[in-house]
Each structure stands twice: as structure tokens, then as C-alpha cells.
Amino acid sequence: MRTDAPGGRGCDSVARPAPGADRSVAVLELLAAHPDERFTLSEVARRCGLNKATAHALLSALTDHGVLLRHPGEKRYSLGPRLIAIGDAARRGYTALDFVPPVLDDLVAATGLWARAWQLTEDHVMSVAWAGGRSGRDPSVTVRLPWAPPIGALFVAWGDEPTIEAWLARAATVDAVGPAHEALPAIRREGFAVTMASPEWRALVDPAAEPERAGTDSAAVEEARRARLLAVARQPLIVPHLEDDATYGASDVGAPVFGPSGRVELVISLSGLAGRTSTGAELRALGRRVAAAGDELTSAVGGQRPGAAGWPRRAATT
């Protein structure tokens, strides 16, 4: 009888008697955990707790299907090209948005606030999912805002230098550029952003708070919207640094959800803070809760959070 070697993920921790599917996954996890290395048959067998006959049959089958590559001279194995297509298909299968509803429900249940998910669509930030809502508010109303400073900072905070510069260039007024740029390091450091409340911001993100009169001329409505956006651009919308003992009139707390490429795929936020004051410590606790929810969604789609060092990133080169 085979005795499994100690170990786990990637064969180096826990291996156990398993059918062929489990053994195949163990081999793939081993090679994925060491993408710059190639393994001999003996090494795979030892590290995955397989006898050589079983390992040989398994590796041969995976190689025949293009899942693994076998170097003809070294006779070592590595991941094969077929996994590229499989990985691309897996990324298209689900997005973070598919996993959002229960996460938002949990945030609402834990905080008593209401929660939304936001997506960057071309040059706009748009609400795409919601949960909660009270006091006559209706979070199901789709909110669409221009992606221009200071709006959408969470989508750009982990971006490369050209992305950040392009976002800053979209500012409606030069007054927005400095504060928006200064807020990005704090967002990366904390992992979340706190948005300050104002009548203009509330009217933009919570349409039920200030409904337009029925029959109002559409041109007048659009002009009022532009005026609010310009006013928000001139406001210190994002808190650059939270002091635990200080009090703030906050509106929202948001955090990113990263996709497999490390880009921000969604932003989730807690709203309903306007009209009350919160301490920095309270807002930090909310921020960490939202960030943990974002991390949960990131993990669900196999996303990865970029490293904190070396920002802003340079553009990728080929």
C-alpha cells in the first residue's frame, strides 16, 4: 500500500490516497507553485506521494493532452500550453459580479447600512448591484458618474503611471487634481477610501435624497447635474488620512475587488453615513470590514492584489 508523503497544496503539504482526479490536481498544483522549475518523474512522485508507476501513467496522460510538457533531453516536466486556453476560459466563466449579492447582504446585516457594487465602464463609474436601503432610499436606482477626479479614485489607485495621469487629465477643474493625486497613496496604504458627505455628492449618488421635480426641463436637470459635479470636484471628497479620535461627516466607505490581472474589477461600498458624524476609528473599522469583503470577492475569482511597493507603477513594456 502507498504511504502518502506529508504536505498540502502543491504536494508539499498534505497528500492523501485519492482517485485520479485528485492526483492530477496535486501534480498541477505542484508545477503551478514552482513555475520556473521543471521536475523529473522521481521528483513528482516523491513530492506528491505517488509510486513511480502511478506517477508515470499520470504524467504521460497529461502530456499526451498538452496539459504538461516533457523536455525531450532533460526528461523533466512543466505546465503545458493547453492550460493557457483553459485559464482564459475560466476567467470568462465568472466575474466578481457573480459572487457579489451574498457579500453585500452580509455587509448590510453586519452594519445596518446599505451596500453597492460599482464597475468602471469605459469612461463612467456605474452602480451594478445593491443591497439594503432604508428611510425611503432606493439603492436599486442605477447611478452613473463620470470617471474624473475625485470620482473613481479606487479604480485608479493601483493603476500604472499612464492610467493615473489619464484619470487626472479628466478633471473638470484644476482644483481637483492635487487632492485626488494626494489621496491615492493613502488609499493603497489603507486598502479602502472614505468619501466625505456634501449636499452635492449626496444628490449625485443617492437620487432619492433629492428627487428632481416631475416635468422639469431636461436641459435644466443636466445643468444642475453638471453644477453638482463641478462642486464635488472642488471639494476635498476623499479623506487623505484618518485620525482615530477626530470626527468626520462621511458619506461612503469603499474598497476594491481585484481581478486575475491585478486590476480593480469592482468597487464595493457602504453608504448611509451621511447626516451623522463618525470617528476615525469607527470609519477605519468599517473600511477594514469592506476591504475584507473585497478580499473575499478577489479570492473567489482568483484575483490578486498588487504589491504596495514601487507606486505608481510604470507602464508595462514588451
pLDDT digits (tens, 9 = 90+) for 223-257: 889 999 999 999 999 998 999 999 999 999 999 99
Q: Is 212 part of a structural domain of the chain? A: yes
Same domain, 154 and 285: yes
The pLDDT of residue 85 is: 79
Same domain, 166 and 211: yes
Exposure class string for 112-126: b at 16+ Cβ within 10 A, else e: ebbbbbbbbeeeebe
Residue type, 41: L
CATH code (residue 23): 1.10.10.10
The pLDDT of residue 139 is: 53
Number of domains in the chain: 2
CATH code (residue 153): 3.30.450.40
Single out the residue in 33, 64, 91 at which a domain terminates: 91
Same domain, 146 and 219: yes
Q: Is 312 part of a structural domain of the chain? A: no
Task: Assess whether the previous peptide bond of 150 is cis (omega < 30° from 0).
Answer: yes
- Which residue range(s) make up the domain with 178? 94-300
Whole-model pTM? 0.69
Same domain, 115 and 213: yes
Mean pLDDT of 121-133: 89
Same domain, 121 and 181: yes
Alpha-carbon distance of 127 to 252, in angstroms, equals 13
Residue 161 φ then ψ, to 5° = -60, -45
Same domain, 275 and 128: yes
Q: Is 197 part of a structural domain of the chain? A: yes
Same domain, 64 and 193: no
Same domain, 111 and 194: yes
Same domain, 106 and 202: yes
The per-residue pLDDT of the chain, averaged, comes to: 84
Alpha-carbon distance of 297 to 73, in angstroms, equals 43
Whether the pLDDT of residue 305 is over 70: the answer is yes
Whether the pLDDT of residue 138 is over 60: the answer is no
Sheet holding 144-146, edge to edge: 144-146, 124-131, 114-121, 264-271, 250-258, 193-196
Q: Is 103 part of a structural domain of the chain? A: yes
Mean pLDDT of 38-56: 92
The pLDDT of residue 19 is: 58
pLDDT in tens, 48-101: 999 999 999 999 999 998 899 998 888 899 998 888 777 766 666 667 788 899
Q: Is 123 part of a structural domain of the chain? A: yes
pLDDT bracket for residue 15 (50, 70, 90):
very low
Instruction: Give the range among 78-87, 159-168, 211-220, 244-253 with minimum mean pLDDT.
Output: 211-220
Residue 50 φ then ψ, to 5° = -110, 150
Mean pLDDT of 136-141: 55
The pLDDT of residue 95 is: 74
Contact indicator for 221, 204 with CB cutoff of 8 Å: no
Q: Is 149 part of a structural domain of the chain? A: yes
Contact indicator for 270, 115 with CB cutoff of 8 Å: yes
Residue 304 φ then ψ, to 5° = -145, 135
pLDDT bracket for residue 135 (50, 70, 90):
very low
Element (H, E) at 266: strand 264-271
Q: Is 292 part of a structural domain of the chain? A: yes
Alpha-carbon distance of 289 to 158, in angstroms, equals 20
Alpha-carbon distance of 94 to 255, in angstroms, equals 20
Same domain, 42 and 99: no
Same domain, 204 and 231: yes
Q: Is 27 part of a structural domain of the chain? A: yes
Cell of 128: 451594478
Mean pLDDT of 8-31: 69
Whether the pLDDT of residue 318 is over 60: the answer is no
The pLDDT of residue 109 is: 94
Alpha-carbon distance of 54 to 75, in angstroms, equals 17
CB < 8 Å & 24+ apart, contacts of 109-112: 110/289, 111/270, 111/286, 111/289, 112/272
Alpha-carbon distance of 186 to 189, in angstroms, equals 5
Place of cell 508595462: 316
Same domain, 139 and 234: yes
